[in-house]
Amino acid sequence: MQKVAVIGLGSMGMGIAQSCLRGGLQTHGFDTRPEAVERFAVEGGAPGTLDEVAGAIDTAIIVVLNAQQTEAVLTSLAPQMKAGASVIACVTMPPEFARTMAALCAEHELNYLDAPISGGSIKAAAGQLSIMASGAPEAFAATEPVLDAISEKVFHLGDAPGAGSAMKAVNQLLAGVHIATMAEAMTFGISQGIEPETFMEVIPNCAGSSWMLENRGPHIVNGDYTPHSQINIWPKDLGIVLEIAKAAGFPAPITSVALERYMEAVKMGLGTEDDAAVAKVYAEDADLKLPGTS
Amino acid sequence: MQKVAVIGLGSMGMGIAQSCLRGGLQTHGFDTRPEAVERFAVEGGAPGTLDEVAGAIDTAIIVVLNAQQTEAVLTSLAPQMKAGASVIACVTMPPEFARTMAALCAEHELNYLDAPISGGSIKAAAGQLSIMASGAPEAFAATEPVLDAISEKVFHLGDAPGAGSAMKAVNQLLAGVHIATMAEAMTFGISQGIEPETFMEVIPNCAGSSWMLENRGPHIVNGDYTPHSQINIWPKDLGIVLEIAKAAGFPAPITSVALERYMEAVKMGLGTEDDAAVAKVYAEDADLKLPGTS
């Protein structure tokens, strides 16, 4: 039985840890928030501090907030792990940063899988994530039982760390723009007398639909901005997209404008609301009323 | 048996006319291009000029290029039609213009259905369009056999002409932005070493997908820009969106940037290519190579 450590028990990490448990893996869960660790222990998480178990675990899954936290975790953890153990790095980061993390792990004879995830917290909890993975064949082989437990689809994007992160950046460009575009279209509809509810009855059956529109649109219809995924994610993720685009001499004007919309939302104090709340920026601009808001 | 006239035998109108024939309706097809009229006659289109048959038809379906052509057709046709006959107006136009056309038809005691369509040329030919329709209950009742023949779904958006056109504008905002965003993401992927083919294997399974991405992405993978829907459509349709947005005091920054991308494509001489060719603007900007291009 593989011994697994999930580092970061946020909305994605907690679901991943639960899926590992359900998949029959001995799973430790770690987080800077003691209440998250305790909650997971109650659900069947294995005991011990990270320092205590680091030498025994076969696979560490890193689901912290950003590249800097990933680096901090691995700088401390990698030297403590046994040779031949594996790291699955799920955080969205620039491909160049993923290559640096892979090199750090290689110094300690650890397998490294560049493995950003897609699917949201509900799919994480169901063990049905999509994983955009790249790494050496040994890294795929060693982590197979873990990947099986947490994902529905694993895309094999080659041997080189960085390819997974590049595909994740492409996906985030699309996802981030599509949420903001859904908000632009739905509020534009309101300005033309179309209720959000009617919008959601019609558009998912038409050529204007997107995965994000169908997923986030109902949040606006219901006026429910409980964060499944926060506004704050997008300045970070679209920032990564624009950073690596700039380094490649690639102008991305639609992404740039979408990023500005999210930054406007953060400025309005909406950073910790669900990302569908970017619609409030449009409502404010054009003096429109969204469902369930005053 | 209803007598139907389809005015405008382009990629959408020809499919609609064929669907009417298949639905058992006596169908006349008209176009400024004699070869289109002849082609439809060979397929079973009823004979006669528009002036000859105008007084006998029960329903005229207008599928010309724009609002101005719709007005030209109706100014000449409406006075010749019999009282109680119906007009189905499928062209994308501002809601205010649709209300003016409805008033023109009302003067001649004609039913008017504000009925923009969605689905593309393949669905038009299959009789499986989505129709965003508004108009008086009598207009819906009188045109029911025709709507049955040409559509899979008819959205009833109320009694007032203009509501259908408003929903179409919302759909076009989304569709136009999604095509340009697909192009931005796919070429950004190329800049990061991701082949368009790999992009299309992964993204349709992830949160970044859209209807347009799945529909138009393969055109870029195959390097095939045979126009299913031309670049030229988008400066027109997104122009309508921004025109009515402006009139409503609604800023639509993402739509504005997408429109600029299509205008750039037109400037590059790509106006009559498939709208997926907007990717060539990005390839030119960042000096990237698309499949099948030199």
Residues 6+ apart with CB under 8 A from B34: none
Look-up of token digits 């912290």: A64
Residue B224 is assigned to a structural domain of this protein: yes
Check pLDDT > 80 for residue A294.
no
**How close does chain B come to A268, measured CA to CA in Å?**
17
Assigned domain for A291 exists: no
Domain final residue, candidates A159, A180, A195: A159
Domain assignment of residue B234, yes or no? yes
Average confidence score pLDDT of chain A: 97
Contact B258, B231 (CB under 8 A): no
The domain boundary, picked from B135, B159, B183, lies at B159
Q: CA of A279 to nearest chain B CA: how many angstroms apart?
A: 12
Q: Which site among A117, A123, A210 would you substitute to test the B interface, given the most B Cβ atoms closer than 10 Å to its Cβ?
A: A210
A194 contact B CB<8A: yes
| Percentage above 70 pLDDT, chain A | 100
Clarify whether residues A147 and A176 are in a common domain: no
The pLDDT-based confidence of A293 (bands split at 50, 70, 90) is: confident
- Residue B203: the pLDDT is 96
Q: Is residue B121 part of a domain?
A: yes
Q: What is the pLDDT of residue A283?
A: 98
Domain assignment present for residue B291? The answer is no
pLDDT tens digits, chain B, 294 residues: what are they?
A: 899 999 999 989 999 999 999 999 999 999 999 999 999 999 999 999 999 999 999 999 999 999 999 999 999 999 999 999 999 999 999 999 999 999 999 999 999 999 999 988 899 999 999 999 999 999 999 999 999 999 999 999 999 999 999 999 999 999 999 999 999 999 999 999 999 999 999 999 999 999 999 999 999 999 999 998 899 999 999 999 999 999 999 999 999 999 999 999 999 999 999 999 999 999 999 999 999 987
Minimal CA separation from A20 to chain B, in Å = 21
My answer on whether B169 and B218 are in the same domain is yes
- Rounded Cα distance between A114 and B138, Å, is 61
Same domain, B81 and B181: no
CA separation for the pair A117, B208 (Å, rounded): 12
What is the number of residues in chain B? 294
User: Which one of B129, B244, B250, B263 makes the best mutation probe of the A interface by having the most chain A beta carbons within 10 Å?
Assistant: B250
d(CA B291, CA B293): 6
A225 and A246 share a domain? yes
Mutate to test the interface with B, among A199, A254, A257, A264 (most CBs of B within 10 A): A254
Range of the domain at B251: 165-286
Residues A188, A100 share a domain: no
Q: Which residues 41-70 of B have a C-beta within 8 angstroms of A? A: none
> Is the residue at B294 inside a domain?
no
Summarised one tens digit per residue, pLDDT across range B199-251 is 999 999 999 999 999 999 999 999 999 998 899 999 999 999 999 999 999 99
Domain containing residue A237: CATH number: 1.10.1040.10
Question: Which residue from A193, A201, A250 is facing B188, i.e. has the nearest CB?
Answer: A250
Q: What is the DSSP string of chain A?
A: --EEEEE--SHHHHHHHHHHHHTT-EEEEE-SSHHHHHHHHHTT---S-HHHHTTT-SEEEE--SSHHHHHHHHHHHGGGSPTT-EEEE-S---HHHHHHHHHHHHHTT-EEEE--EESHHHHHHHT-EEEEEB--HHHHHHTHHHHHHHEEEEEE--SSTTHHHHHHHHHHHHHHHHHHHHHHHHHHHHHTT--HHHHHHHGGGSTT-BHHHHHHHHHHHTT----SSBTTHHHHHHHHHHHHHHHTT---HHHHHHHHHHHHHHHTT-TTSBGGGGHHHHHHHHT---TT--
Cβ count near B97 (within 10 Å) = 22
The 10s digit of each residue's pLDDT in A191-235 is 999 999 999 999 999 999 999 999 999 999 999 999 988 999 999
Q: Which pLDDT value is given to residue B228?
A: 85
Tell me: do B20 and B155 sit in the same domain: yes
Query: In total, how many domains does chain A have?
Result: 2
Interface of B with A in 72-91 (CB under 8 A): none
Catalytic residues of B, by residue number, are 168
**CB of B97 less than 8 A from some CB of A:** no
pTM: 0.93
Strands, E assignment, chain B: 3-7, 26-30, 59-62, 86-89, 111-114, 117-118, 129-133, 151-156
Q: What is the largest CA-CA distance in chain B?
A: 63
Residue of A nearest to B212 (CA): A207
Residue A110 contacts B, CB cutoff 8 Å: no
Among residues A3, A168, A267, A289, which one is catalytic?
A168
Give the CATH number, domain containing residue A33: 3.40.50.720
Domain end marker among A159, A193, A225: A159
Task: Say how far apart CA A224 and CA A221 lie, in whole Å.
Answer: 8
The answer to ipTM > 0.90 is: yes
